[in-house]
Every structure is written in structure tokens, then in C-alpha cells.
Amino acid sequence: MAMTPLAPRPARPTPVGILERQAARESSARTYARSFPIVPVRAQGMTVVGADGRRYLDCLSGAGALALGHNHPGVVAAIRSMLDREAPLQVLDVATPERDAFVGELLATLPEPLATRGRVHFCSPAGTDAVEAAWKLVQSATGRSGLLAFTGAYHGQSAGSLAATANVAIKAPVRGVVADVTRLPFPYRLRCPFGLGGEVGDRVAADFVQRLLDDPSGGVVAPAAMVVEPVQGEGGVVPAPDAWLRAMRTITADRGIAFIADEVQTGVGRTGAMWAVGHSAVVPDVLVLSKAVGGGLPLALIVYREELDGWAPGAHTGTFRGNQLAFAAGAVTLRVVREEGLVARAAVVGERILAELRTLQATEPTIGDVRGRGLMIGLEIVDPDGEPDRCGARPPAPAVARAIRRECLARGLIVELGGRDDCVVRLLPPLTISDAEATAVLDRLASSIAAASPARRAAS
């Protein structure tokens, strides 16, 4: 019987074909795929190689999820070891050696009393579910329902976390997400909500919260919790001033309000402290973690004071709260960050990048502000010819910010935008960034800003 000849092996799909099929078949809610029309096929450290052979320096790092960059040898070895020994990959919340090792590594990084008396709860593997879990936990523990959240905040896009999120554009089309959330002003020195700026604006922001909560006609029923990002990420890389954050911790503690720190993006050394609350010497009641804590794989959890641990079995569940590969990758990531001094490294390299960008700001009027902590850095892009507000801030320039992102990509640099009007160019390089890579990032970014400058485009 004659054998049917094998069909010819199809040619490798072209990047253009892949991008066209994605646009035709996937949701219109795509975001990064629109900003970066590339097809990554290999990656190592902070270098990404596209299907067309082009190389890029990645200052997005999976939205901050890749603390050690792409394919770190220790992370790859941990994952390969699990696969080679046929370890179970998904076992719900059943105890495993990988889970136990991860929890041990995590608790060793935390401040007291969380380190020795904290409780860990794993959630469905996204930060938004961990925010939901934190809110549910404190509601159960306090018998209250309300949440205090801030302008500029981003906590996710599921129902409860979306209610806490401040971005109007993503909230407006969704009915019924207001929930019991009181929105408070976040101190943002460039665009101070009180029109004051500086330390005066910070103090007024803290005084406002205290007076509002104590006002019997302020309209705020005693809430269950306050949730705050130590550095607002999607909100435009806006660090919470240390004194203000300590004031929020005091205000909540004095009134029996649980203090939730959302460290989904700031955690695991990103800001030059293992956990960003450490800059302010603040210990939250609940710590919300995801992104980098899973070593680049999906993992989300909360760590909280044992006094809050009143949940009944099954109070907050999810099928994929036992991601064994993420436990292995996360344990290695936490250990490498600690043992190789990457927290201090993030602080040093971050200060260097911030200093050089501030020098650049002096010659590039389209840069309205340079801010950040560690390797979480933002440049706010403004219209230098626009009328300044009462604090001296020029109007945002979204078209210029988009042009800078395009110019960066053309030069082999991946950066993303955030903040009001998407006018903040954000840098989230891996903690393993070398001095040479930092120099290349700065050179490419400076060249991109110059190319995107309206004045220089007009002159050319």
C-alpha cells in the first residue's frame, strides 16, 4: 500500500502575518500589542529579540513582573527541575514542598510582625483578585464595608478593585462599580490637588483626610480599610511622600481602620527597598502582592496581621491559587534579589538614571517632571508653550508622549506610558540592569525625546 507523502512543512509565520491575525481575532481591549507592533521570539535579561531579528532593551519588564529580567538562569533551572521530576503543577491549596519553600522565602523578607505572625492567603493569579481578597478580609474582620482610596490610584479592573481604581475612562462604561468607596486626594506635587505643591500640599492632603474622617457631617461612615500604593504606578509614577504615608498609617491605626498597602508593582526591590513601605518605615495591616513575586509567572497573594484571620474555610477561593511553577520561580527570585544585593543595586542605578534625566530636563522643556524611586521612574511630558497652572505645571502633551514612545521603539527601546492623559514615560527595567545597559537606555531615550520635540520637528 503506497504511503501518502507528507505535506511540505509550512513556512515559519511572518511577523506581519501574526500581527494581522492577532488584530483580526483578538479583543479590541488589547493594549501593549497596539503600542508595540513587534513579535518577540527570544529574550534574555533585558534584551528581547523580535521575529525580524531586531533587538530591544526592555524597560517594561512585563509591567514590572520580571524583577530578574527574561529567562534568568536560576528561574529557568527551578522550572526545569520541576518538569524533569514530574512534580504536580496544579494542586489547588494542598501543601507542597514548593509552596512551603516559597512562603518561607517570602516571610523572611517581611517586617515584623508580618514576618513571624503574619498569615498568607493565595488568590487567583492576578493582582486584581488579591485586592478583592484584601477588601473582603477586612470587611469580614471589621464588620464594616467602606474603603478609602485615592486619586490617581490603580488597583485592577475586576468589580471591587475597579471601584477602588481612579481612572475614569475605564470606569465610566461599566455600570454599578461605584461601591462604597470614598475618594481622597493623593499628594502629587507637580499637579497638587489643592493648588499648593511641595511639603505644604502634602501636609494639607494629610490634614484633609483626618478632618474628613472626624467630621460628623463629613459624609463618610467608618470604613473597613484604606488602600494605597506607596508609589502610584499606572497613575504616573507618583511616590507617596514618606511623612504623608506615615500620617496615613497613624490616622488609620488611631481609628481602627485597616491599612492595605498595594505593592503589586512596587514590591520585590523595585523601588530600592524590598517593599516600598519600608522607605517610610510603615507596616501595613495587609500587604497585596503579585507581579514580580511569582518570578514572572502568575501569582498573587495577600499577607496580613493574624488578628484579621477570621475567615471561614472557602471564604476566598480560586482554582489557580496553587501555581507550583510560580512558587518555584518566585522563591528563586526572592532569594536572588536578597543574596545578590539587588535591592541596593536598584537604589543606586535608579539614582543615577534619575540624576541624568534631571540633567536632561534642563535642556528639554518638554520634560515637565522627573520622579520615581529605585528602578520605577517616570518623566512627565508637557507642552512647554502652554499656560502654567497655579503651581507652575505646564499642560500635558499626550501627542508628544506617544511620539517619544514610537521613537524609542524605533531605536530599540521599549517604554510605556501612564499617568493623567498617558503623558508619563515610564521606565521599569529589571533589577539586573547593567551599567552599560543603563547608559544605552539613557542615550536612546534622550535621542527619542529630542526627535519627538515639537520645536525640533518644526525646525527640521
For 48-105, the pLDDT digits (tens) are: 999 999 999 999 999 999 999 999 999 999 999 999 999 999 999 999 999 999 999 9
Kind and range of the H or E run holding 282:
none
Q: Which of 290, 332, 322 is nearest to 76 (CA)?
A: 332
Instruction: Give the side-chain half-sphere CA count within 13 A for 238.
Output: 28
Please report, for the chain, the start and end positions of each structural domain, with discontinuous segments joined by +: 15-71+341-459, 87-339
Helix (H, G, I), strand (E, B) or coil at 403: helix
| Strands across the sheet containing 40-44 | 40-44, 47-50, 55-58, 413-414
Which three cell numbers, joined as nine digits, stand for 397? 502633551
Neighbour-count burial for 194-225, b at 16+ CB within 10 Å, e otherwise? bebbeeebbbbbbeebeeebeeeeeeeeebbb
Q: Which three cell numbers stand for residue 189?
A: 506635587
Question: Both ends of the chain: CA-CA distance in Å?
Answer: 73
The span from the CA of 331 to the CA of 337, in Å, is 10
* Residue 147, all three cell numbers: 474603603
Fold assignment, 87-339: Aspartate Aminotransferase; domain 2 (3.40.640)
| DSSP string of 140-192, one letter each residue | HHHS---EEEETT----SSHHHHHH---HHHHTTSTT--TTEEEEPPP-STT-
pLDDT of residue 10: 47
Strand-pair category, 231-232 with 181-184:
unpaired
Q: What is the pLDDT of residue 179?
A: 74
Whether the CB-CB separation of 290 and 264 falls below 8 Å is answered with yes
Write out residues in the chain with pLDDT < 50, as ranges.
1-4, 6, 10
CATH architecture entry for 15-71+341-459: Alpha-Beta Complex (3.90)
pLDDT at 457: 60
Contacts from 337-340 at CB under 8 Å and sequence distance 24+?
A: 337/67, 337/68, 337/268, 337/269, 337/274, 337/431, 338/108, 338/109, 338/274
Q: Give the span between the Cα atoms of 308 and 140, in whole angstroms.
A: 8
- Residue 129, C-alpha cell as written in the block: 483578585
Q: Which residue has the cell 481609628?
A: 255
Report cis status (omega within 30 of 0) of the bond before 113: yes
SS3 72: coil
